[in-house]
Structure 1
Amino acid sequence: MRFLIAESETPEARSERRDSVGRSSGETYLAVLNRLAPDARCDRIMPADADAALPSDMALAGYDAVFLTGAPLHLYDETPETRRAIAFMRALFAAGTPSFGSCAGLQVATVAAGGSVRPNVRGREAAFARRIVPTEAGRAHPLLEGRPAAYDAPSIHTDEVERLPEGATLLAGNAVTLVQAAEIRFERGTFWGVQYHPEIGLDEVAGALRRQADGLIEAGLAHSEHDVEDYAQRIEALHREPGRRDLAWPLGLDAQVTDEHLRLAELRNFIAHRVAPTHALRR
């Protein structure tokens, strides 16, 4: 199989993420996909970069799947970066290649297909999205296979999907963010996406909190940088020893977050149910 990872972080955001956790969002996806599909060939591009050499529709059609990473893009702002990211997603829909995205990946696909994104109206969702509940359609959808009636997931975002495009299917939501998972069909393409981050480990959650400490304090989620650092350190301790219930319990977390196999459910399901059957037909 051939995978393409579309990393829409700006160069500045990419550098900040590497400084805090040692890898960019695309490099995180690359490591995860190498574990889930070790025989797959993975390429990586940066659609939002000004000097990005983007593949044509025909070249995109040569991939078995495209994965869109998270990124600090505000899709309601008209900037060169958002225009390039949306143009890439529209080319991907036109190519018909199966695609998956998390966080900003879901938002890019939403806007490219005619929906809208806005700042979170119920405040930040930081560190973890709590009590995500599949809709009736979501309970029957292969993207959420194996997920329980309610679950938590790594998540940190300041924007959310305001309106899904016509023809999209809402698959899950929670009290903070209405659209936590969705399927979007547009032109020749089908996109499966989530607002949360199944691909990131707890060390990356801690890094994200540290990078956004000022915003968390401004939002009233923490009183001081010391509070943010204390929370980040407790999350990191659980990352080092994920089997320790005494570390998980104070954070209110269970195996849906601490067990990597369970946490990666959506990515594994996408490859098994959406990508592998199409790849078999193309051989």
Structure 2
Amino acid sequence: MRFLVAESEPRQAREARRESVGRSSGETYLKVLEALVPGARCTRVKPADAGAELPSGEALAGYDAVFLTGSPLHLYQETPETRREVGFMQAVFASGTPSFGSCAGLQLATVAAGGRVRPGARGREAGFARRITPTDSGAGHPLLRGRPSPYDAPAVHTDEVEALPPGAVLLAANRLTRVQAAEIRHGAGLFWGVQYHPEISLAEVAGALRRQADDLIQDGLARSGEDVETYAAQVEALHREPDRRDLAWRLGLDEEVTDVRRRTAELRNFIEHLVGPTRSERGRG
């Protein structure tokens, strides 16, 4: 299979994340996809960057799937970076190549298809999205196959989908964020996405908490930098020892987060139930 990873982070955020956890968001996707599909040929592009292009001679339609990463960009702000991102996603839809996005990836597909994004009406989700509940449509949708009701997942975001585009299907929600998972059809394309992060490890959750410590304190989610560090250190320790029941209990987590196979369920489901059949229809089976 041939996968294209569209790294939505602008350069400064990319470098900050790499310094924090050793990988940019796109590099995280590459690592996870290569583990999920051994032998897959993965290419990374950076559509937020000026002058970023596909490799010479390549076209979006030549890939079996496009994956869109998270990003600190705010898609309700008109900037050169957001214009490039939206234009790229519109081209993905036009190509007919199946696409998947997490966090800002879902927001990007929403805006490119005519929906709206806003700052989170109930504040940020930091660390984990709790009690995500599939809708009636989501309970039978292959993207969420294997997920119980409710479930938790890694999540780090301040923005949310305000209104899905016409024809989109809401698949999951929780108390804090109304759109946690959705299917979007637009033009020739089909997108499955989630507001949370099935691709990131608990070590990357800990890194995100540390990078955002000042914001967490300002938002009242922590009293001090020491509070943030204590919580982040527990999350990181659970990454190293995922079978530690004491840490999972203390953090209120279960196997939906601590078990890597369960945590990455949406990615596996997307590849198995959308990418694979589409690939066969295109004659690449």
Does the TM-score normalized on the shorter chain lie above 0.5?
yes
Instruction: Give the aligned partner of residue 256 of structure 1.
Output: 256
Q: Which amino acid aligns with 1:116?
A: R
Instruction: Give the aligned partner of residue 97 of structure 2.
Output: 97
2:101 pairs with 1:71: no
Instruction: Give the aligned partner of residue 6 of structure 2.
Output: 6
Instruction: Give the aligned partner of residue 40 of structure 2.
Output: 40
Query: 1:61 and 1:51 mapped to 2: Cα distance?
Result: 20
Q: CA deviation at 1:200?
A: 0.3
Question: Aligned to 1:243, what secondary structure does the other structure show?
Answer: coil
Aligned counterparts, 1:1-283, within 5 A: 1-54=1-54, 59-281=59-281, 282-283=283-284
Query: Structure 1: any 5+ residue segments left out of the alignment?
Result: none
Question: Aligned to 2:126, what secondary structure does the other structure show?
Answer: coil
* TM-score computed with the length of structure 1 as normaliser: 0.98
Query: 1:209 and 1:145 mapped to 2: Cα distance?
Result: 29
Instruction: Write the deviation string for residues 241-265 of structure 1: whole angstroms up to 9, x where unpaired.
Output: 0001011000000000000000000
Q: CA deviation at 1:279?
A: 1.3
Query: 1:121 and 1:218 mapped to 2: Cα distance?
Result: 16
Identity over aligned pairs, percent:
72
Q: Which amino acid aligns with 2:96?
A: G
Instruction: Write the deviation string for residues 25-52 of structure 1: whole angstroms up to 9, x where unpaired.
Output: 0000000000100121100000000131
Q: Which amino acid aligns with 1:233?
A: A
Q: Which amino acid aligns with 1:37?
A: V
Query: 2:75 and 2:30 mapped to 1: Cα distance?
Result: 24
The number of equivalent residue pairs is: 283
Query: 1:103 and 1:54 mapped to 2: Cα distance?
Result: 23
Query: 1:227 and 1:25 mapped to 2: Cα distance?
Result: 26
Q: Contact 1:57 / 1:91 at 8 angstroms: preserved in 2?
A: no
Q: Which amino acid aligns with 1:202?
A: L
Query: 2:39 and 2:275 mapped to 1: Cα distance?
Result: 14
Q: CA deviation at 1:124?
A: 0.9
Query: Structure 2: any 5+ residue segments left out of the alignment?
Result: none
Q: Which amino acid aligns with 2:124?
A: R
Q: CA deviation at 1:56?
A: 9.8
Q: Which amino acid aligns with 1:249?
A: W
Instruction: Write the deviation string for residues 213-259 of structure 1: whole angstroms up to 9, x where unpaired.
Output: 11101100000111101100010010000001011000000000000
Instruction: Write the deviation string for residues 135-156 of structure 1: whole angstroms up to 9, x where unpaired.
Output: 0000010000000010000001
Instruction: Write the deviation string for residues 132-184 of structure 1: whole angstroms up to 9, x where unpaired.
Output: 00000000100000000100000010000000000100000000000000000
* TM-score computed with the length of structure 2 as normaliser: 0.98
Poorly superposed stretches of 4+, deviation over 6 Å: 55-58
Q: Which amino acid aligns with 1:177?
A: T
